[in-house]
Amino acid sequence: MTQTPPGFDRWIADAEARHLRDMTPTEVGRALRALSSTYVERRARLSGRGAFDTAGKRAAYALYYAPRRYQTLTHILAALPAATGPLAIVDVGCGTGAAGAAWAVHAGPGASLLAYDSHPWAVEETRATIQAFGLKGDVKRGAIGGDRGIRPWADGRGAQARAIVLSYMVNELSDDDRADLLPALLAAVSRGAHVLIVEPLSRKTSPWWSRWADAVVAAGGRADEWRVTLDLAPITARLGHAAGLDAAGATARTLYL
C-alpha cells in the first residue's frame, strides 16, 4: 500500500466539492465508463484531449484517474533512485498535475513545479493541485510539437537541478513529434537533467516502447514494470466500483534516467 501526505486529502476533498457540485457520483460513474472506453479502445482521441470533452469526463478524470496516478507515481518514485532535494520539476502534458506533484512531494522542501498542458481545463485543475499540496510552482498552457511547441528540456542549467516527468503522454504524440522528443530528452540528461517517462503497461498501445527502452538503457538509464496496490480515497473507490474497474490495482512501466 502507498502512503499519502496530508495534502492528498485536501486535494481530493477540493476536487470532490468542485466536481460534484452539479453532478452526482452516479452520473460521474457513467462518465467514467465512457472515459475508460476511450482509454482502452479509442486512444487516438486522446491526442485531442478527448478525455476532457464533457463535464462528466473531467470529473471522472479528476476523481478517479488523477488520484490513482498520484499514488502510482508515489510508489514508483520511492522504489526508484529518483532525485530528491531542491529540484525544478517540469511536468509535461500534466493533466491535473498529479505526476509532477508526486515528484515534488517526494523531492521534499525546496522543490518547485512547472507544469504544461494544452487544455485550459487541465491548466486550471493543475493550479488547484499546486495549491492543495502547498507547492511552489506554476502552470502554463503549451504542448510539445510544431514550431511553437514547448521545449522544457532545452536548458538544464540553473541553481536547481531539473527533473522532467512525462506521464501517460508520450504515446499521445504524433510519430514525428515522438521521434524528435527522445534525442532531446537524452541531450537534457547529458546536461544534468533527470527524466522519468511513465506509460501504460500494455505494449499494444505503445509499439515504440522497445526502441525507447533500448536507447534509455544504452544511455545508462533503466526500464521497469510496476504492479501496485493503492490505498484509495473513498470517492475513487466508489467510482471505480460503479464503473466495474479494478481501482485498487494499478500497473505502469517507466523509463528513468
CA–CA separation, 134 and 176 (whole Å) = 37
Per-residue confidence (pLDDT) for residue 45, from 0 to 100? 44
What's the helix, strand, coil split of the chain in %, to 5? 50, 20, 30
Q: Which domains does the chain have, with CATH numbers?
A: 6-256 (3.40.50.150)
pLDDT digit string, tens, across residues 119-174? 999 999 999 999 999 999 999 998 887 666 777 776 544 445 689 999 999 998 98
pLDDT score for 53: 80
Spans of the chain, pLDDT less than 70 = 1-4, 38-50, 146-148, 154-161
- Report yes or no on whether pTM surpasses 0.85: yes
Distance, CA of 9 to CA of 53 (rounded, Å): 26
For position 255, what pLDDT does the model report?
A: 98
Rounded Cα–Cα distance for residues 156 and 88 (Å) = 10
E strand or H helix at 136: strand 136-141
Coil vs helix vs strand at 237: helix
Q: What is the pLDDT of residue 6?
A: 76
With cell 466536481, the residue in question is: 19
Local structure of residue 23 (DSSP, 8 states): S
